[in-house]
Chain A
Amino acid sequence: MLDVAVLLSIGRHPVSGRARRAATDAQALEMALALRPRRLTAIHAGPPTDGEALRAYLGMGLERLTHLVLSEGADPVEPLIAHLRQFDPSLVLTGRQAEDGEGSGMLPYLIARGLDAAVVPDVVRIGPADAPNSIPGAADLVQALPRGQRRALTATGRFVATIHPSAPPARASAYGPARRGVIEPVAAQATADLFLSDCEHRPWRPKPKLMRVKRGGSALDRLKAATESKSGKGQLLVNPTAEAGALAIYDSLVEQGMLP
């Protein structure tokens, strides 16, 4: 892993809405730093607003970071591809999806297509291949699958990896290096992202789970009943009045035997 690029977006705290380092992007940078590459290029593409939040990445021990300065609402994919082509990295790391703005889950795929590279999503570990007969430059990967399963892969050639939240946690960001690090702004041209500007924005909410009380059965059944979410059943109330909501909760508690 000689030449690594890492794409970093500006995150948003789910509660306060304040700009911060994005959680999985920070984990991607952590993985990139742990690989000790010969060259590490860190790039952010976006408008100059909240640019100071990028300093949190510098605080992890990154000396410099390139900021491709785009206008508000511009699509970062083309400028990122153009910039990455100059460096020709063997590995591009990024979080699985940004917390806000343009870095959708599609971005890694679009970048990979532009660079003519493979994509490995949801990576939790990367290391140089250790099999004796492996091709030079190949990398061993571990990929996270649903329900805690893991899959080992070997990748050759150039690829884009997205980082899964269960990858090693990001190191803390320190104030001193954060203020000393350098953000290099690079002006970039990009077309407006018409798709995103068309979309409605609203805060993310976890999908409500329907709790069921099930007596008897094996311990595993009860655990499943208590933890699994069942969709399709139950009642969906959108913006109910306080009374309607309270009534629905009350009825549900009665139905589940938690209230007389």
Chain B
Amino acid sequence: MIATALTTVVLAVLAIGAALAAWQSRRWLAGRPAAVGVVAGLRALPGRYLVDVHHVVGRTPFNARFHALVAGGFLAAVVLLVAMGVAIAGSWAGSRIVWLLLAVVLAAMLAGALMVRHRRRVLRPRELSQGRFARLPLSLLGFSGCLLVVALDQSLGGVMPEALALILVAIAGLAMADLVWGVWKGPLKHAVHGALHLAFHPRPARFHDGRGRDTGLKPLPLAPSEDAGTVEPGTLGVERPVDFAWNRLLGFDACVQCGRCETACPAYAAGLPLNPKKLVQDLVVAMDAEASDAAYAGNPHPGRSVGKAHGGAALPLIGPDAMIHPDTLWSCTTCRACVQECPMMIEHVDAVVDLRRFQTLELGATPGKAAVMLEELRATDNPGGRALSRRWDWAADLSLPRLPAGGSCDTLLWVGDGAFDLRVQRSLRALVVLLRRAGVDFAVLGDDELDCGDVARRLGDEATFQSLATRNVATLNARRFTRIVTADPHVLHTLRNEYPAFGGSWTVVHHTALLLELITTGALTVTKPVGRSVTFHDPCYLGRYNGEIEAPRALLDAIGVERREMLRSGLRSSCCGGGGGAPLTDVSGERRIPDVRMEHVRETGASLVAVACPNCALMLEGVVGPRPEVAEIAELVLAATETAR
């Protein structure tokens, strides 16, 4: 009797949950088509969950533990209950062993639920959303607690009055209904959508069953497709929620509002009007026909109020009165800290760039100085509108060998647009002197080196990026070399990860890796160890985008610094504010992003911060003193390998 009631309740609630999820799927299925390997995705799902998701969740062990207990306990309990229902005709359905098993998993779930309650009621982390999430511990406790009593009782032979047991079953059913109701718009939504998102992820290569990392932006087809014939070319980028590919919409729907992205976001930390969690939630609610952010119960975009944004699935997303304010969109530095932290594997940066593409390519709405820069870039192939020959002014006395078309050399040095800047020229000179000192056979492209298109692409100007990329690829493919070396991680990322789509594939090395190699092979000898306390600021485009966090550290150790680590370093480093065109769009906040990062540097007590990217050097040197010194890593290596004369 008890068993029948229980399984009936569970099956009914599950059926309702499935119906809700199916109804919900209309929202994300309305997106643009996407090529997805359905079978392969579903097959890879358990592995991705156990390896990739737990890799992220496990960074906060307490959360990982309660999640395993609650989710594992809940799933096991449901499976047992359903199995009891299937086998209800069989005599063993009511057997004590099954009840005892059920009691064990429910006890585990109860323990997890108590931890959830502790986190939500006692610890109360700032970044957690309230609203529908506030009821979560209650439903978890109700479900696991009530059923635990019933299961224990049944396994002991059923001493409880039947009426009391039925009441407990009813309470558990209500609690479970509340949990499953969450599939609709509450906490449990992430379970269903997260699983589907893992299977149909737009970047399957980022998981351990792929390359493990996939950070390059995907090319936007600019030419109207062949079969379209005379049809008007479609709009570029994303204007409305339905312009996203369906599996991207599905990804947004998976957001569990844990706020890890919010904690990691440098723009949020500096009080710029961007909270990545709210950004994703804005996209989630905008999938409804009549959308408003009034029900959002987390931290807002700094400086902006909640409840005034309105939108809909077929309405523009960006606008002063739309779901997302333009300032929010243009605050992002594309640092990927949010993507790194997101346990639901949501790709915030792809969403930001898709939205920016529409703003720039269709509306010409790139803000202020960014639009001026793009126009100069189109006319001169460099962001400052200068003559390409002037890129080499700083090296007038170095007589750098130029690599002509058809020529060959061992190492091709790509200097990047930093070469137009006085500060960056200093570190480039250091690098060139080091290459000479180590006897590296290197050459530069000379006037054929164009901007790599990184900033244009992050600002959404895919047309200018593709024009630059095709020409740079042609230039490089006309020459022979074993590797390209650059001191600019943005160039590194673009050439290494984004040019292959345009027919270029070479070995691209960051100068920190090259310098380390030169020291380990003995081509450079450390004569004057630095001996100072130094902390290293990981460039986002070297660390998170390319996973290179070891070489710079090994290099610093090799030149004898006393290395200190910031709280946020390596793959979890915090951005200097220089990426994604953010210095050009220049959205104002409470503070500047580099000031926040310099705070992190100060906390280590190091007297010097080593950087490995021209943007980081400029951003961090722009922080007013007194502050720790900023030095490019090549400058430190140069000083440490000075030979006595």
Contact residues of A with B, CB < 8 Å?
13, 15-16, 18, 20, 59-61, 171-177, 179-180
Contacts and interface: CB of A to CB of B under 8 A. Distances in A.
A20 B364 contact: no
Contact of A180 (B232, B385, B386, B462): B232
A199 to B, nearest CB: 25
A20 B364 CA distance: 16
B379 A180 contact: no
B379 A174 contact: no
A175 B364 CA distance: 8
6 contacts: A13-B385, A15-B387, A16-B387, A18-B379, A59-B364, A60-B364
Q: Top 5 closest A-B pairs, CB basis?
A: A174-B364, A172-B364, A172-B371, A13-B379, A176-B362
Nearest to B366: A172
B381 interface: yes
Nearest to B375: A172
Given A174-B361, A176-B236, A176-B361, 12 more contacts: A15-B379, A15-B385, A18-B379, A20-B378, A20-B379, A61-B364, A172-B360, A172-B366, A172-B371, A174-B360, A174-B365, A180-B232
B160 to A, nearest CB: 70
A198 to B, nearest CB: 30
Contacts of A172: 360, 364-366, 371, 374-375
B362 A174 contact: yes
Contacts of B24: none
Contacts of B379: 13, 15-16, 18, 20
Contacts of B233: 176, 179-180
Interface size class of B (residues with CB under 8 A): 20 to 34
A224 B335 CA distance: 47
A18 B385 CA distance: 11
A176 B462 CA distance: 11
Contacts of B360: 172, 174-175
Contact of B461 (A13, A61, A175, A177): A175
B380 interface: yes
B285 interface: no
B363 interface: yes
A175 B386 CA distance: 23
Given A175-B236, A180-B232, A13 B362 contact: no
A177 B234 CA distance: 11
A20 B378 CA distance: 9
B586 to A, nearest CB: 16
A173 B364 contact: yes
A171 B368 CA distance: 10
B339 to A, nearest CB: 27
A178 to B, nearest CB: 9
Interface string B367-403: 0000100110011110001110000000000000000
Nearest to A179: B233
Nearest to B374: A172
Contacts of A175: 222, 236, 360-362, 461-463
